[in-house]
């Protein structure tokens, strides 16, 4: 970050790792949040007169093989549109690479390269050979110890964190270490099993955890409520009980049910104790949403990961909408992260009312779990040299 600010980039070959792993449909980028978030870093390097090389992964292709559907070409096209200049896509970065000062190229998907996912040294060294300065800016991939995130940082002549990565770490640190209280977390999504570690870490630091989605169903079961045919995890009911003993986790008092999972499914509002054997719970009801919204309005710090209902179908979106609007109205320092959460932020149009929107999915969760992000650890090791 300091390097960029101090203008030491002029004429230098600067390799920037971004997380440009964005959704693509029919050759077009469908959500460019991650590209937008990376733009200031790329622009600063260009304006500083650096020879800029940007790299990222896209999806999970078979390693070592080119696959058209995972090509970065749509990202190059989209980035070119945003920057208002052509962005050349480099298919073979080991061939001669000539970038002029103040110009940029984008490397093809790093996961086409053999050794990327296993963080093999020869590949990491080959990336390092491209640059004078390596800028790790991909917060969303900082939890992966791979050649383009962790390995290259080991071998590059100079390795530092980019502004996006630095901002993410600062914002998350603010919410987690010494937060303004009450600290309330919303953990939604389908399964407790995928968020158990997050729930356990949050139970240590939060004043309250709001659960939603399939996750809430396991907590309802732990509270002795019927959940019918809803998605829930019977083997995690005792873990849910233990969490409820540790921290305030209110369970919904009313729920929106249907008999099938479909866009056209008929939604029925029920008291949480009246769910029938053939019901499936797809959202929290309005009384629960109202009570939770009140809690959110009192919060001073809010961490949001996961919707509380099947909000992609409007009839099951009211709970998520009510909480989104409560976050928007609250004066708390609020952080939202994760793909589904960001889709909800967009759908209910609260992006400019959330204090910080993280570009991380898995990385966001691992950070909240208190895990060390390997790419960040490598930068710290390099800085300590």
Of these residues, 91, 114, 174, 191, which one is catalytic?
A: 191
Tokens describing residue 240: 């849910």
Stretch of 62-70, 139-147, 158-166, 368-376 contacting ligand 3PG, by CB under 6 A? 139-147
Smallest distance, ligand 3PG to C-beta of residue 336, A? 15
Of these residues, 339, 347, 353, 382, which one is catalytic?
A: 339
B/e letters for 306-322, b = 16+ CB within 10 Å, e = fewer, are bbbbbbebebbbbbbbb
322 three-class SS: helix
Should residue 213 be labelled a site residue for ligand 3PG when binding is judged by CB under 6 A? no
Q: Which of 115, 226, 286, 362 binds ligand 3PG (CB under 6 A)?
A: 362
Tokens describing residue 113: 């390269």
Distance of CA 104 to the CA centre of its chain: 26
Distance of CA 184 to the CA centre of its chain: 19
Should residue 21 be labelled a site residue for ligand 3PG when binding is judged by CB under 6 A? yes
Should residue 361 be labelled a site residue for ligand 3PG when binding is judged by CB under 6 A? yes
Is 13 marked within a binding site? no
CA pair distance 380, 377, nearest whole angstrom: 5
Query: Which residues inside 60-79 make contact with ligand 3PG, applying CB under 6 A?
Result: 60
User: Active-site residue 339, yes or no?
Assistant: yes
By rule CB under 6 A, what count of residues binds ligand 3PG?
Answer: 8
CA pair distance 319, 216, nearest whole angstrom: 12
Is 144 marked within a binding site? yes
Smallest distance, ligand 3PG to C-beta of residue 166, A? 18
124 three-class SS: helix
Those residues whose C-beta lies under 8 Å from the C-beta of residue 165, and which sit 6 or more positions away, are 136, 137, 138, 139, 142, 376
Residues with catalytic function: 34, 191, 339, 362
Binding site for ATP: which residues?
A: 195, 312, 338-341
Chain contacts with ligand 3PG (rule: CB under 6 A): 19, 21, 60, 140-141, 144, 361-362
Binding site: which residues?
A: 19-21, 34, 57-60, 111, 144, 195, 312, 338-341
């Amino acid at each position: 970050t300091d390097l960029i600010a101090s203008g030491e980039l002029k004429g230098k070959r600067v390799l920037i790792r971004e997380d440009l792993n964005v959704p693509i449909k029919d050759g077009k980028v469908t959500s460019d949040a991650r590209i937008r978030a990376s733009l200031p870093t790329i622009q600063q390097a260009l304006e500083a007169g650096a020879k800029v090389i940007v790299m990222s992964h896209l999806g999970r292709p078979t390693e070592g093989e080119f696959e058209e559907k995972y090509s970065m070409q749509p990202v190059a096209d989209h980035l070119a549109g945003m920057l208002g200049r052509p962005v050349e896509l480099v298919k073979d970065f080991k061939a001669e690479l000539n970038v002029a000062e103040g110009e940029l190229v984008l490397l093809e998907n790093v996961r086409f390269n053999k050794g990327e996912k296993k963080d093999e040294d020869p590949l990491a060294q080959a990336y390092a050979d491209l640059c004078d300065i390596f800028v790790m800016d991909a917060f969303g991939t900082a939890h992966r110890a791979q050649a383009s995130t962790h390995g290259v940082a080991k071998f590059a002549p100079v390795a530092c964190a980019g502004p996006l990565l630095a901002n993410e770490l600062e914002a998350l640190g603010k919410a987690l270490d010494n937060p303004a209280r009450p600290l309330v977390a919303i953990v939604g999504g389908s399964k407790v099993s995928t968020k158990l570690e997050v729930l356990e870490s949050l139970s240590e630091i939060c004043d309250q955890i709001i659960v939603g989605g399939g996750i809430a169903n396991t907590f309802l079961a732990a509270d002795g409520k019927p959940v019918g045919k809803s998605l829930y995890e019977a083997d995690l009911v005792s873990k849910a009980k233990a969490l409820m003993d540790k921290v305030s986790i209110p369970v919904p008092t009313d729920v929106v049910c249907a008999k099938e999972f479909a866009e056209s499914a008929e939604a029925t509002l029920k008291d949480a104790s009246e769910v029938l054997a053939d019901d499936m719970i797809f959202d929290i009801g309005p009384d629960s949403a109202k009570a939770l919204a009140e809690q959110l309005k009192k919060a001073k710090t809010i961490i949001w990961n996961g919707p509380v209902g099947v909000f992609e179908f409007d009839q099951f979106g009211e709970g998520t909408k009510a909480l989104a609007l409560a976050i928007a109205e609250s004066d708390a320092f609020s952080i939202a992260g994760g793909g589904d959460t960001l889709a909800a932020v967009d759908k209910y149009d609260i992006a400019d009312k959330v204090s910080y929107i993280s570009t991380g999915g898995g990385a966001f969760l691992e950070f909240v779990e208190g895990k060390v992000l390997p790419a960040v650890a490598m930068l710290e090791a390099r800085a300590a040299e």
